[in-house]
Structure 1
Amino acid sequence: MLLACTGGSDRAPASQTDDSARAPQAARATGPAPADTDDFGAPLPTNAQFASRVVSLNPAATEAIYAIGAQARLVGRSRWDKYPVEVEQVPALGDGIRPAVEAILAAKPTLVILYATAENRSAAEALTRAGIRTMALRVDRIAQFHSQLRILGVALGAEAQAQAVSDSVQRTLDRVRALTASVRERPSVVWPVWNTPPMVIGGGSYMDELLEIAGARNVFHDQPQPSPTVSMEEVIARAPQFVVVSHKQVTELGANDSWSSLPAVKTKRFVLHDPAVTGRPSVVLGMAAVQLARRLHPTLADSLR
């Protein structure tokens, strides 16, 4: 199950790819104009012509649809869509990966939003053959979150609302970055996303960006993959001062023969995070940066309320 698609399992490997350079801070909220095609190369809607009945099998997109106030158009979601809680009132149509096309068609959608992974290409093609407009979107980096909001704003007739949400999230990220810029020491961290074999957050993930904004140094930032598989020997050699973990992982890593050999695990130097917040490349990105910064730099806690 994909971390970006499920909205934050604390065990599942992150599955993002980095196809964009880090944008200058001031450019992230507005960024370049939206692309003409989605992540599968299909033309994007240029207006709200197809927005009357929307099936979203992409949890980050579903959450964004609620944030921009377009949820009345939703007639279906995946079983992984959990945020906000009101989404439970929308019929669940199965998985977001390799979805059941028949169940989607039964909802009579005019637009289907898919998570852009190779495993969903056949569904997109089948829906297109059936005459259903599709959009395949993927948020791997913070800049792509802003781009997705703009795309959804156009497709659902809520451009002003989408820009307002984008600006609000970016203001929080910028505020956290400004506060942590004054920190003298940026602690080195490792962020495990899978225990055996060891998989960690690499430079290709928005989580790596969150760490940088929150004032930390990811010891695997140089790895271009979002969640590379590494050896325990390499983790130990990079000597992270802290391990970014969920409450569940504290117990798991301590009981794991490989991870328990890491000095930071032995001495319980953990930075606790909530996967329900940090594992969602969505409208809670600002909240995730605040949470991480407060845990990494307790002296800034009062300023990060």
Structure 2
Amino acid sequence: MAPPASASAFLKALEQEGLVVVEVGDWRDHNRNHKGPWGPVHGVMIHHTVTKGTASTVRIVREGYAALPGPLCHGMIAKDGRVHLVGYGRANHAGLGDDDVLAAVIAERDLPVDNEATVDGNRHFYGFECENLGDGKDPWPEAQVEAIVRASAALCRHHGWSARSVFRHLDWQPGKVDPRGPGLDWDDIERRIAKRLGSKPPTAPRPTPSRPVVDLSQLVAAARSNPKAAGQPVTYAGVRAVEAALVDEGLLAKKYSDGHYGTTTVQAYAAWQRRLGYSGKDADGIPGKTSLTRLGQRHGFDVKG
């Protein structure tokens, strides 16, 4: 078990690894600690932001959205390799994830494929968001990749962790696809982190997560089945992939991402439909093929039916 580094030690570790660090406002005291504990910490999680432009990205990850308040990470790694510190402490970056993955990170061994969302990752991991559109096409400049390597190595060095303590959001939570894109070879990043730490690189590649498949007919049935019901989920696993996507879009609060396609999820999906330009009965919160496919393309799931 490792207590989080102090904010000063965190900053020093990054700078000693040769990074250019930009301190944003009151980052040392900007956190979500009032919502739960921060620590013990066990690893470093890397994300992409689905945004464009450094200034706007810094603002978003610092302030968050109405449904997902900031900070959304501890540091934002821009395309030029600068690390913008936006918060320190508990941050809304990891969400719920797989307890078997947590156990593997702690043990620094090969990760299993994530298939559950039961453990609070915001408590246990440092988080770096990386400026990228997240469409699988936006490139990752070498300066940004090197900054990922150095930021990860800095925290591993501070805590005495290996490169296996660094992983991706997609390794943690089902339905996530970040980070991805041309120029981002995760196995190579792990080797580079290990080299900086003077240790042997991992011998086994990270598992390739399978893309969830959301059955449209089942999802429609879920959306129409007693939406006012609460408590025990009444639907099927595909609902979680859709809920996670709506959370990422800032349309659904994380506390409602529970596998139950209730009134709040219907309202969130209706907001997604309106964002696509639909109105009236076409924006009633009941998924259609086109709107669901568009959501899946952005958030890493396929649509059946």
Higher relative contact order (CA 8 A, sep 6+): 1
TM-score, shorter chain, exceeding 0.5: no
User: What band does the TM-score fall into relative to the shorter chain?
Assistant: under 0.3
Give the structure-1-normalised TM-score. 0.26
Give the structure-2-normalised TM-score. 0.26
